[in-house]
Amino acid sequence: MNKTVRHLADGREIIYFDEHELAQPREAVDTRDLPAVSAASEIRCDPLTGEWVAMAAHRQTRTYKPPADLCPLCPTRPGKPSEVPEADYDVVVFENRFPSFAKNVSGEATTVDGAGLVPLAPGRGRCEVVCFTSDHERSFGELSAERVRTVVDVWADRTAALSELDGVEQVFPFENRGEEIGVTLHHPHGQIYAYPFVTPRTERMLATAAAYRAEHGRHVMGDVLANEHKAGTRVVAEGRFWTAFVPPAARWPVQVQVVPHRQVADLTELDAAERDDFARVYLQVLRRCDGLYDRPLPYVAGWYQSPRHRDRELSWLHLELFSVLRSRDKLKYLAGSESGMAVWVNDSTPEQIAERLRAAG
């Protein structure tokens, strides 16, 4: 894989990842007249839960559902400059123009109203956009295994790089797909958030893993994985190094965890064979998801990785995909119980979900 680092007109970094040697170097210039990125993000800690919340009011003006011929993620064409100055690309990563977290946010740590009750700090970090292909009409599930492997290498590259930034505590690569999820740009792409704190979900999982290890001397994910292999009823796809299964306490109408058989803390620790095998297994999962309702499935898919500075021995890398679609034309709404009390009610059992996914593939 070849890597080329360039900069956009407003100074943001753009990185091209090419699968093969190029005949010509990537030297296209961003000719747009762009104002400097101005991010005013801040984070506040909820005094009742201890969870950090990001405030990013500047994102109200971000690009919203442009027509396909003006897509900012497609390659630049004559008279139609985009976020990608080159005429074509394999995989490209660039700093988000409307970031939730940014490295140049000003301010110091303090408290709301100066009262000492609610911690407040600048939302320093980094948000990147990852375009999986230059083809506007494709989806991740339609990529080749070679391209998915390239994307895995890109995720690992960015995890390593972003983890070295001052103030970053956790790196989260993810993909949002479909208008039902809230996607406003239809070009196949994902994002990477470099958070200035450890996320609430991760904190909960680490605490659970620590308690389980103290009682049993093993990692809880290892025992879950062994049980899924033994039961078989929730397994959706399986390779030499990865297993995809519906979690035994699934919250969502469609939910799949893709788990490596070996405990690793983050994407950087995967070896070449594991990265190859992930591409094969994950493509099976995505194709079964799209076959479930005979339509493209809207979903969120994200990587659960170790925090940067602690608890790597308690972390077990895995990807989780979920969808709000409970039938071809019905959505799962997070109403009173889920939104108010975080008590989930699923209209299907995990075993039924897995059976439908296997039949869809």
Which residues are marked as active site? 189
CB 168 within 8 A of CB 266: no
Contact 170, 308 (CB under 8 A): yes
Cα pseudo-dihedral 18, 35, 127, 107, rounded to 10: 150
CB atoms within 10 A of CB 313: 13
Supply the DSSP string of 188-242, one letter for each residue: SEEEEEEESS--HHHHHHHHHHHHHHHHHSS-HHHHHHHHHHHH-TTEEEE-SSE
Question: What type of residue sits at position 356?
Answer: R
Using left for φ > 0, alpha for ψ between -120 and 50, and beta otherwise, residue 257 falls in: beta
Count of CA atoms in the C-beta half-sphere (13 A) of 301: 23
> Using the 8-state DSSP alphabet, how is residue 69 labeled?
G
Q: How far apart are CA 70 and CA 80, in angstroms?
A: 7
**H helices present in 98-219, as ranges:** 145-163, 200-216
Task: Identify residue 331 by its one-letter amino acid code.
Answer: L
